[in-house]
Chains A and B, each alone.
Chain A
Amino acid sequence: MSRPGPRRVDRLSLVVGVMLALAGVVFLLDALGVWTLRVDYLVPLGLIVVGLVVLASGWPLGNRRS
């Protein structure tokens, strides 16, 4: 019986989680008045985030199995 290999990270969950946390920080800083989010920033920012998610989820991971 073979032993189970190391667990693989679900990359989509990882990348989306990081993006959600960063978005939370951005909204929190807006709420605290550190900066003001403008409506015309939102669409390009959303586009950048979606692009990063697509890039990161499609980026090949190195083979770490020994």
Chain B
Amino acid sequence: MTGEPLPPPEPAVEADRHGPAAATVLVGALLVLVGIGWLLDAAGVGVPWRAILPAALIAVGLACVAGAFRGRQHALMAVGVALVVVLSLAVAADWDLDLPLAAGVGDRTERPVTPADLREYELGVGNFVLDLRGLQVPAGTTAVEARVGIGELVVQLPQGVAVEVVASSGVGQVQVLGREENGLASRIETSAGGGDRRLRLDARSGLGQVRVEQ
């Protein structure tokens, strides 16, 4: 019994060795750069993530365009879409990517008494209580800024001074002197009291609750 001869096998399509290699090199370089940045960040060196990630996205996009002439760039497209998602979430949640990860993790309470004790308060992840009830507010305007990346921020205001409050949360609840906002990009601006001693508070949380009470 003789069957029809099998057709000769089609020659295997030659793998494009340049496109995937270029994509792999770029993805690997990005991972190394992000790792170095993270390491520097952990060591206390300020890393401008808000500019670095978009720059990486531009590089991925341009590499994808260049690679399009060699074939489909699955890896680059996946990395690019992931970067877009991260950056979109950062914008949506008003996350401050400049907030150093080294700002700390855990629960913290600060009770400044004099204006000289005041500084820019930051916490990466956790619950932060800023107790200003004992603060001696001088005549004029005293500005206080407190930020929490992920977690709860509670600010207790002093009595007998005028206060201007701007409180916001990327994703979460904001409660300020009886007012409340929930959801995405919550923000409350309000003022109370009067007099020549004025306290200006800027309280922000990327993901979590902000509570300002008197």
State whether these chains interact: yes
B149: interface (CB < 8 Å) = no
Which residues of the partner chain B approach A28 to less than 8 Å between Cβ atoms? 51, 54-55, 58
Q: Which of A9, A24, A37 contacts B68 (CB 8 A)?
A: A9
A18: interface (CB < 8 Å) = yes
> DSSP majority for the A interface?
helix
Closest residue on chain B to residue A22 by CB atoms: B61
Closest approach, in angstroms, between the C-beta of B18 and any C-beta of chain A?
11
- Asked whether B57 lies within 8 Å of A13 as measured between CB atoms, the reply is no
Please report B residues at the A interface, Cβ cutoff 8 Å: 48, 50-51, 53-73, 76-77, 80-81, 83-84, 87-88, 91-92, 94, 184-185
A-B contacts besides A17-B73, A20-B80, A37-B91, 16 pairs, CB < 8 Å: A7-B69, A12-B72, A13-B64, A13-B68, A13-B73, A16-B61, A17-B65, A20-B57, A20-B58, A20-B61, A20-B83, A26-B54, A27-B91, A30-B54, A31-B50, A39-B92
Please report A residues at the B interface, Cβ cutoff 8 Å: 7, 9-14, 16-28, 30-32, 37, 39, 42, 46
